[in-house]
């Protein structure tokens, strides 16, 4: 193709993308009311092992959920369903980020507890996470981080369905000349994540929400993200929306003198991805932080980290830290309405991970195994 032909092809593609994204914004305008779990007779939890260390940490997470929700499982109020086929082998064989029959099994659940999945670098296979977040419209990625001895109690509301992620696999390229990706911010998509963050702040007595962007550079997308967050903030008297740029916020999080003053963060997808790994590291490592992907109809709970292929190669898989997926399980149990049980689990996790620390996972053979740590947590329940 010559240059003109590339331009024509890209223009056609851009028209398609723009139309699609406008239609997505339209669909968001007609969103149905969020699911009320107290009105669901039988809550179905899907369990998905994932790749790499996924099945190892998920095996322990399932034991934990079975113990915490023993009564509900016994009475049939909650059922657990194992989801088959969300493995890198099957996804590559089918050439689908999430094969249709897997998606169908997932859609038949109310919530999902999912081990990490592997995403090949390059190629065209999209990340299973990104696909699930989009297909199930899981727009709020909620990531709490706490360091009690320092007074750090952060919660990140990362927009989860837009930004660089939504069209990240559909950029244009003029080979040998240039490549271009697209970033999208919609009015409805931003409003709903902003509302989620401010609702959380209001319900939890927080007084400020940090709106973190790079609006000085990404003027259109981050510019409207900031504007919409401030419009939403106007409905929440007593809660201040504070503007920050992502670069200085990244620095702030390693500044011990000021970091504990931050409470709630709301931010576009990619910045949220990056800064939540930093925040998790401050808490004790990405192996310790849970992650909830919330939509109005579905929610998916997972570890913040990836499938750790290096641990598998090094023969260290059994030493994987299940804390992150345990935290995700706690968030899931809370989300489906069993607050007291979630509180009890949260307390056991804190006791084991922060206060008593009698069994410690290091990720190496000098530490406890994943199962030993699970036994330790379960002994506190």
Q: Count of residues for the chain?
A: 381
Q: Is 162 in the site for ligand IPM (CB under 6 A)?
A: no
Q: And the tokens for 9?
A: 């092809």
Residue identified by tokens 């981080």 is 145
Complex with ligand IPM: residue 156 or 376, whichever CB lies closer: 156
Stretch binding ligand IPM (CB under 6 A), from 127-135, 191-199, 202-210, 353-361: 127-135
Compute CA 248 distance to the chain's CA centroid, rounded to the nearest angstrom.
23
| DSSP letter (8 states) at residue 166 | T
* SS3 call for 291: strand
99 binds, among Mg ion, ligand IPM, none (CB under 5 to 8 A by kind): none
Binding mask 290-329 vs ligand IPM (x if CB under 6 A, - otherwise)?
----------------x-----------------------
Stretch binding ligand IPM (CB under 6 A), from 123-131, 180-188, 198-206, 369-377: 123-131
Q: Is 288 in the site for ligand IPM (CB under 6 A)?
A: no
Complex with ligand IPM: residue 21 or 161, whichever CB lies closer: 161
Which residue among 119, 221, 226, 324 contacts ligand IPM (CB under 6 A)? Answer: 119
Complex with ligand IPM: residue 119 or 146, whichever CB lies closer: 119
Complex with ligand IPM: residue 326 or 376, whichever CB lies closer: 326
- Give whole-number Cα distances, 282 to 12, 22, 23, 309, 317, in Å: 45, 39, 40, 23, 23
CA distance 28 to 192: 9
Q: How far is the CB of 345 from Mg ion (least distance, A)?
A: 24
Complex with ligand IPM: residue 119 or 221, whichever CB lies closer: 119
Dihedral (C-alpha) 187, 192, 193, 195: value to the nearest 10 degrees? 120
Complex with ligand IPM: residue 52 or 306, whichever CB lies closer: 306
Query: Which residue from 144, 164, 167, 380 is spatially nearest to 282, judged by alpha carbons?
Result: 144
Residue least distant from Mg ion (Cβ): 273
CA distance 193 to 206: 17
Q: How far is the CB of 99 from Mg ion (least distance, A)?
A: 23
Query: How many C-beta atoms lie closer than 10 Å to residue 69's C-beta?
Result: 23
Adjacent-strand bridge partners of 292:
142, 301
306 binds, among ligand IPM, Mg ion, none (CB under 5 to 8 A by kind): ligand IPM
Q: Is 279 in the site for ligand IPM (CB under 6 A)?
A: no
Q: How far is the CB of 129 from Mg ion (least distance, A)?
A: 9
3-state secondary structure 167-228: CCCCCEEECCCEEECCCECCHHHHHHHHHHHHHHHHHCCCCEEEEEECCCCCCCHHHHHHHH
For residues 336 and 111, the answer to whether their CB atoms sit within 8 Å is yes
Adjacent-strand bridge partners of 172:
180
Q: What is the DSSP string of 136-157?
A: TT--EEEEEEEEGGGTEEEEEE
Q: How far is the CB of 277 from Mg ion (least distance, A)?
A: 5
Which residue among 127, 221, 263, 324 contacts ligand IPM (CB under 6 A)? Answer: 127
Residues 6 or more apart in contact with residue 7 via CB below 8 angstroms:
none
321 binds, among ligand IPM, Mg ion, none (CB under 5 to 8 A by kind): none
Which residue among 83, 111, 130, 229 contacts ligand IPM (CB under 6 A)? Answer: 130
130 binds, among ligand IPM, Mg ion, none (CB under 5 to 8 A by kind): ligand IPM
Complex with ligand IPM: residue 146 or 269, whichever CB lies closer: 269
Adjacent-strand bridge partners of 240:
208
Q: Is 118 in the site for ligand IPM (CB under 6 A)?
A: no
Query: Could you tell me how many residues of this chain bind ligand IPM (CB under 6 A)?
Result: 6
Compute CA 136 distance to the chain's CA centroid, rounded to the nearest angstrom.
13
Complex with Mg ion: residue 119 or 186, whichever CB lies closer: 119
Q: Is 283 in the site for ligand IPM (CB under 6 A)?
A: no
Complex with Mg ion: residue 278 or 375, whichever CB lies closer: 278
Binding site for ligand IPM (CB under 6 A): 119, 127, 129-130, 273, 306
């Amino acid at each position: 193709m010559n240059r003109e032909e590339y331009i024509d092809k890209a223009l056609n593609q851009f028209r398609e993308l723009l139309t699609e994204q406008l239609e997505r914004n339209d669909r968001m305008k007609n969103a149905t009311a969020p699911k009320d779990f107290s009105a669901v007779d039988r809550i179905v939890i899907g369990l998905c092992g994932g790749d790499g260390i996924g099945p190892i940490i998920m095996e322990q997470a399932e034991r934990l959920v079975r113990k915490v929700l023993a009564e509900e499982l016994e009475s049939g109020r909650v059922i657990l369903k194992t989801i088959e086929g969300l493995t890198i082998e099957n996804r590559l064989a089918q050439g689908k980020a999430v094969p249709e029959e897997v998606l169908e099994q997932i859609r038949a659940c109310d919530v999902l507890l999912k081990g990490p999945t592997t995403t090949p670098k390059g190629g065209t296979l999209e990340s299973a996470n990104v696909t699930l977040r989009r297909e199930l419209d899981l727009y709020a990625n909620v990531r709490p981080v706490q360091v009690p001895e320092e007074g750090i109690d952060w919660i990140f509301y990362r927009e989860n369905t837009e930004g660089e992620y939504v069209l990240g696999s559909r950029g244009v390229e003029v080979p040998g000349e240039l490549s271009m990706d697209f970033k999208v911010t919609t009015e409805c998509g931003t409003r709903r994540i902003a509302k989620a963050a401010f609702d959380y702040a209001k319900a939890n007595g927080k007084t400020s929400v940090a709106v973190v962007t790079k609006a000085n550079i990404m003027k259109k997308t981050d510019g409207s993200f900031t504007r919409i967050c401030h419009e939403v903030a106007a409905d929440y008297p007593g809660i201040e929306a504070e503007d920050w740029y992502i670069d200085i916020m990244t620095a702030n999080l390693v500044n011990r003198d000021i970091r504990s003053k931050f409470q709630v963060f709301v931010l576009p997808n990619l910045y949220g991805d990056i800064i939540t790994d930093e925040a998790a590291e401050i808490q004790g490592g990405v192996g310790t932080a849970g992650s909830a992907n919330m939509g109005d109809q579905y929610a998916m709970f997972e570890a913040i980290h990836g499938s750790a292929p290096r641990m598998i190669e090094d023969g260290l898989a059994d030493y994987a830290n299940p804390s992150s997926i345990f935290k995700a399980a706690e968030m899931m149990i809370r989300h489906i309405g069993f607050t007291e049980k979630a509180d009890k689990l949260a307390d056991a996790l804190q006791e084991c991970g922060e206060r008593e620390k009698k069994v410690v996972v290091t990720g190496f053979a000098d530490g406890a195994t994943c199962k030993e740590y699970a036994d330790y947590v379960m002994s506190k329940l």
